[in-house]
Structure 1
């Protein structure tokens, strides 16, 4: 049913990412699917700027942990963005198409007041991605 799972990864690892990672690992085991962890990074006000090598190291560590947890092949992809907040939704939607994912497993938070005005990242993916989206809360 699913051969390639994409999981968007925030390198700050909020709790929603941990829960979605567990779900992605279980689905990958069940479906014998490979996984691609996709991160969108850039300079944000107040954030410590990370070098490309530091980002690659963090993603590789995440991929190793996910591979052990899922027993699946795990690849990584980092997308550099000039304005993460404005571009992340489009970047993730395009990445799913480019890598050939047939399922996106994404973590989200409980709805907040702003989510009724602006869609969350998971909500955007669920509305706009051309593949199945499993939203984990």
Structure 2
């Protein structure tokens, strides 16, 4: 049913990412699907600068752990953004189409006050992606 799962991650939010990673691994194992871990990074004023090599190393380590859990082929992709906050949702939606994913597994948090005004990233994906989205809280 699913051949390619896109798993967007923010490696700075481990609890949300880890729970969703367990779901992505279980679905990949059950469906014999490939997983692509996708991260969108950039620098905002005041953020520490992380070189692409360091980001790629973190993603590679995360992908290797996910491959071990799932037994699936796991690839990773880092998308560099000039303004992560403004471009993240569109970048993730485009990435799902570009890599040919047929399922997105994404972690989210319990709704906060701002989520009633602006959609969460997971909410945006669920509303705008052209493929199935599995939101894990």
The normalised TM-score by structure 2 is 0.98
Q: CA deviation at 1:15?
A: 1.1
Report the counterpart of residue 45 of structure 1 in structure 2.
45
Q: What CA distance in whole angstroms lies between the structure 1 residues aligned with 2:114 and 2:33?
A: 35
Contact 2:25/2:70 (8 A) holds in 1:
yes
Q: CA deviation at 1:92?
A: 0.1
Report the counterpart of residue 69 of structure 1 in structure 2.
69
Q: What CA distance in whole angstroms lies between the structure 2 residues aligned with 1:22 and 1:43?
A: 29
Report the counterpart of residue 3 of structure 2 in structure 1.
3
Report the counterpart of residue 35 of structure 2 in structure 1.
35
Gaps of 5+ in 1: none
Gaps of 5+ in 2: none
Per-residue CA deviation, residues 94-113 of structure 1 (Å, 9 max, x unaligned), is 00000000000000000011
Report the counterpart of residue 55 of structure 1 in structure 2.
55
Task: Find the residue that maps to 1:45 and give its secondary structure.
Answer: coil
Per-residue CA deviation, residues 15-41 of structure 1 (Å, 9 max, x unaligned), is 111110000000000000000000000
Q: CA deviation at 1:50?
A: 0.4
Q: What CA distance in whole angstroms lies between the structure 1 residues aligned with 2:72 and 2:82?
A: 32
Q: What CA distance in whole angstroms lies between the structure 2 residues aligned with 1:11 and 1:42?
A: 13
Q: CA deviation at 1:13?
A: 3.2
Per-residue CA deviation, residues 57-92 of structure 1 (Å, 9 max, x unaligned), is 000000100000000000000000000000000000
Count of matched residue positions in the alignment of Structure 1 and Structure 2: 137
Task: Find the residue that maps to 2:118 and give its secondary structure.
Answer: coil
Matches for 1:54-133 after TM superposition, within 5 Å? 54-133=54-133
